[in-house]
Amino acid sequence: MIFGIIPLILFIIFLYFYLKDPRRIINGFLFNAFFCSFLLFCLIASYQSKYENLHLIIAIPVLALIMMLPFGIVALMVGLFLNAKTLMRKEGRRFSNCLTLLAAIGILLFLLLPIINPTSLFSSHLQPIFSGIALIAVYFFVHLSNFLTAYFLYQFNRPRRNQDFIIVLGSGLINDKVPPLLASRINKAIDFYWKQAAVTTPPTIIFSGGQGPDENLPEAEAMQKYAIEKGIPIEHTVQENRSINTYQNMLFSKQIMDSLKDKYKSIFTTNNFHLFRAGLYAKQAGLNSQGIGSKTAFYYWPNAMIREYIAIVMMGRKRHMKVVGVILGFVTFLSVISFIFS
């Protein structure tokens, strides 16, 4: 069937891009396109089939999914409200910990829109602008879907145990001590170190993190001390103590590796929620390095993922501003035309 060729081609294209570089949001778009085309192919194939049982096998899950979608949105909203409560109780009431609460409120307003119907309060000439706002929302929903898919696909990245360096990304100290979040990153590097040391030459661990305004020592120094106490030989460790953000983590660590070895292989460790964006920064710094992620407490993960997505949007803000500007410009033009010729 000719319809089966489309998902096959999309899968091949996705596989090519993913194997070439898994640190791309386009990988999420290509996989989503493949998955949707494959589902459509299954529906068409079952509809054209002579076997009624096949119709039911395909149709029942699709109908169940459609019926469950509204309940899933409500469940997501409730879950985000509960998560916000748990997060603020454990991590404190800071704005950065309120993102799941804001997301839940946003979903609630979205569910109430058909009841409130705010467009009825304004002139009909403004309807194109409301349509444009809806289109922008769809655009970011698709972008979010692509990001989440690319993020989950990147979690399957498994670098070989033949690395020369492991970069551990800093995340801040608490009372000049390594907190649990940062400890999980170091422990991930230590675990990889010993697994590689068991089969070949052990890698050098680069601890990357500068000194914050409220810290009495650089992160790199505290991280190195933590690893040495865990049994890592000091001669297999290096401090990178100048960086203040992820991009600098990658850039300054690359400078150290370039000075130590001409050709090398490297990976980086961070928390799983931060893994994909860190990979993008590694690419920006000219570092051909993939990452491995440490586990994060489940209550912390949803808020962190929202923060990651906002950061991803900001990284591509010029492109997003162009898209939003074109949409708003076009619908504003339609509104003006509607007003003039009414």
pTM score: 0.87
Note the pLDDT of residue 50: 67
pLDDT at 61: 73
Q: Are 245 and 172 in contact (CB under 8 A)?
A: no
pLDDT at 114: 79
Q: What is the pLDDT of residues 285-337, one digit of tens each?
A: 999 899 999 988 888 899 999 999 999 999 999 999 999 999 999 999 988 88
Which superfamily does 165-296 belong to?
HUPs (3.40.50.620)
Closest CA to 276 of 147, 159, 189, 167: 147
Rounded Cα gap, residues 173 and 182, in angstroms: 8
The ranges assigned to domains in the chain are 165-296
- For 118-150, how does the pLDDT look when each residue is reduced to its tens digit (9 = 90+)? 777 777 777 888 889 989 999 999 999 999 999
The Cα–Cα gap between 210 and 219 comes to 6
Write out 9-62 in H/E/C secondary structure: HHHHHHHHHHHHCCCCHHHHHHHHHHHHHHHHHHHHHHHHCCCHHHHHHHHHHH
List the structure tokens of 167: 């970069």
Confidence band of 275 (pLDDT split at 50, 70, 90): very high
Report the alpha-carbon distance of residue 7 to residue 33 in Å, rounded. Answer: 8
